[in-house]
Structure 1
């Protein structure tokens, strides 16, 4: 009987290209690999918790730097399994994001940081401030600015807007939200104004729906992750796409950021095989493949390779420059086992606010009150 392992990964247009290489890896190694794809990251988190809490886990999972601390009990530290020379190829920021209390619990798949996307046939230049972006969006039919209105998407916009107003949303090390702050009130005002320029379905939209709307030419502005870039290159707006750094807030630029990772399970049935798959999925070749689709590699050798492949003075070359600049303004969520529960509180209250179900004052109060309860719950 051939060796067999199971992998649980996040699916979707930003991620699926890499998984097509698993079949050839399995053939080459003479093994069987069962790959289960979750439809979204919230679905992935639920699937991880359900599978491992019931003892029917996986050998390898994809996860995220902000969610891994909540899954640490099921993950295998990698420091003793990987040679220091293997880690030298990875960006030091990405490796630090993958560490929990100093121990490495995953290998970085990418560095995820967003850029502003706009239509060059509708706008002469990108707005330089959030207030200017709101004003521009209000004059752009049918939709000005499109954004996700649920889960991590809406949380991310609020988090980075607070940051651009000079306020980190959480007290740490326990992620206690502090939203009743001038920055929080300003962030909600910006979100409310932008929602008026977006489709009414926004509170039901996740990232992929936003990408699809903008790629179809229905909006003038959005923000998006590097992994969506291949969808724009194949879209009706491919020759009318402009890219820029985020607008400035009252204090600074702040851009919601993080890192997707691959991790080994403590209960891996075949640790050696799972580790081989981990190395394959985070290899130079794997990250170069994803970079060709748009992802910002966590490996410096893959980033150097894609920069060499890119035509000078092209939109793609400009984009790589912008992504590296954007990391200077990266705004990372805290790492804590209770963080996912707190983020869920923030996002659900923001969603209720966008639906018109509660006022700005109530939203900020509930984020603080319910978020503190979620952060301290045992």
Structure 2
């Protein structure tokens, strides 16, 4: 397994989401013709199911449905931990390693699942083939390691370009930009255009009542390493070759790191970037502080809420840019999911809760927030309903998501030590951005350290 980068699998990972075949789960009818619940057909009275999951917007909205499950089954769901993706990952790894698991349902993710494989149950013990049928076969295949299905997917996500329509549509800005840069102002289609427009919007708005930074990205941990990877791939590079030898100090790596460094050095991204992860960058855009950036679809409903966000009704979505490779778009993607730990106390009850949380009804409700469905039956409903929506982005958003999933989707390298690698690498990338080390020196150092890490982990045996 360790000798496979997995990029071919990643390209296929969600292509089948759109055409998944509805199955015949044991369901509880919600409405005569509406999406159906599942997992409510057993009496779980007196059982407390302990839950460790991802928190924050937009993930916690799903947890409001716990009360439906509790009322129907008699069980109680107790949340023992919620944190962002990196916090929950650390929490799970600490408990798995120490043998201190006290939860029955655990968060999982296609980018992280390889490191959890020895600590979670095979979900095929709890789900029939009929119950698995609605889910993307490619995601299930990607989550099957050495014959074990490690997770049940909740939703998928891929990063798209989010841009301020009020800024890009400003006639004065359009005229000034074309005069200065020699081409029309429009959402960037290349990484080079991203730099030009970040420079332009930062400079043109700095003396106004509403200054903005041109663009942004999460600036630490796996979030930074993953964004670098997305740009690296678009520039024709990769972190590793097929033998797991690090190769990101090449021309593509230098170009990608230099791009990030120049944006930070020239003030075209927020100065606190090295402290920011997903919630902070999303809030920056929500508050109208950023002109455009690559972001997950999952924030869509939050951004469109006029009670929460200054940019509601003032932004659009488009495909990620290409880099120097010319024909490779950015498209970092993955799928959030649920697993049952081997040391869980209430595994059968946990399986019932997961069946409920990944049911057609709950998945459909979550998709209304902008999250991308992993069930074919839910995609069918979304496509049918989008045309009647008052949201002008309802249809274009789905069409764009379908295109990106089919043509641009790729995960980080699928190996168990992805997080160990990113933990090693991101501080050096931060140092490059901050100017503490040159681009070439920083990349050379990172490749040398990565080679040592991979050797210690046994990848070259």
SS in 2 for 1:8: strand
Contact kept? 1:38, 1:47, Cα under 8 Å: no
Contact 2:53-2:83 at 8 Å conserved across structures: no
Equivalent in 139, 144, 148 of residue 200 of structure 2: 139
Please, which of 273, 290, 314 is the counterpart of residue 240 of structure 1? 314
Question: Within 1, Cα distance between the matches of 2:270 and 2:419?
Answer: 27
CA distance in 2, matches of 1:373, 1:42: 24
* C-alpha deviation, 1:29, in angstroms: 1.0
Distance in 2 (alpha carbons) for counterparts of 1:221 and 1:323: 18
* Match in the other structure for 2:63: 19
Displacement of 1:168:
2.3
Contact 1:173 1:336 in 2 (8 A): no
- Residue from 171, 177, 180 that aligns with 2:246: 177
In the alignment, does 2:230 pair up with 1:164? Answer: no
CA distance in 2 between counterparts of 1:173 and 1:227 reads: 34
1:46 matched to 2:46? The reply is no
* CA gap 1:263/1:163 in 2 versus in 1, 3 angstroms: same
Shift of 1:52: 2.3
Contact 2:218 2:278 in 1 (8 A): yes
Runs (5+) with no aligned partner, structure 1: none
Superposed displacement of residue 193, structure 1: 2.9
Distance 1:337 1:214 in 2: 33
Aligned match for 2:257, one of 184, 188, 201: 188
CA shift for structure 1 position 62: 0.7
Matched, 1:198 2:275: no
Q: 2:144 aligns to what?
A: 99
Aligned with 1:324 (options 402, 410, 413)? 402
| Structure 2 partner of 1:341 | 420
For normalisation by structure 1, the TM-score amounts to 0.95
Q: Secondary structure in 2 aligned to 1:267?
A: coil
Q: Quick check: 2:162–2:315 contact (8 Å CA) kept in 1?
A: yes
Matched residue, 1:353:
432
Counterpart selection for 1:271 from 343, 347, 352: 347
1:35 match: 79
Query: Pick from 130, 149, 162: which aligns with 2:191?
Result: 130
Of 291-300 and 312-321, more deviation after overlay is shown by 312-321
2:221 is equivalent to residue 151 of structure 1: yes
* Corresponding residue of 2:334: 258
Contact 1:349 1:367 in 2 (8 A): yes
Matched with 1:3 is 47
Select the structure of larger CA radius of gyration.
2
Structure 2 SS opposite 1:118: strand
Instruction: Give, in angstroms, the shift of residue 138 of structure 1.
Output: 0.3
Q: Figure out how many residues of one structure are paired with residues of the other and give that number.
A: 377
- 1:112 and 2:157 are equivalent in the alignment: yes
Task: Quote the Cα distance in structure 1 between the aligned partners of 2:445 and 2:362.
Answer: 43
Which stretch of the first structure deviates more once superposed, 142-151 or 31-40?
31-40
Match of 2:40 in 1: none
| Structure 2 counterpart of 1:66, from 97, 108, 111 | 111
SS at match of 1:139: helix
Matches of 1:343 and 1:376, distance apart in 2:
16
**What residue is the counterpart of 1:374 in the other structure?**
453
Task: Report the RMSD for the aligned CA atoms in angstroms.
Answer: 1.7
- Per-residue deviation, 1:173: 6.5
Q: Which residue of 2 aligns with 1:297?
A: 373
Does 1:75 pair with 2:75? Answer: no
Q: Which runs of 4+ in 1 moved over 3 A?
A: none
In structure 1, distance between residues paired with 2:119 and 2:130: 26
Deviates more, 1:182-191 or 1:298-307: 298-307
8 Å CA contact 2:261, 2:435 repeated in 1: no
TM-score (norm 2): 0.78
Tell me how far 1:96 sits from its aligned partner.
2.6
* Residue 175 of structure 2: aligned partner: none
How far off its partner does 1:102 sit?
4.0
Moved more, 364-373 or 15-24: 364-373
1: CA distance, partners of 2:315 / 2:426:
29
Q: What residue in structure 1 maps to residue 392 of structure 2?
A: 314
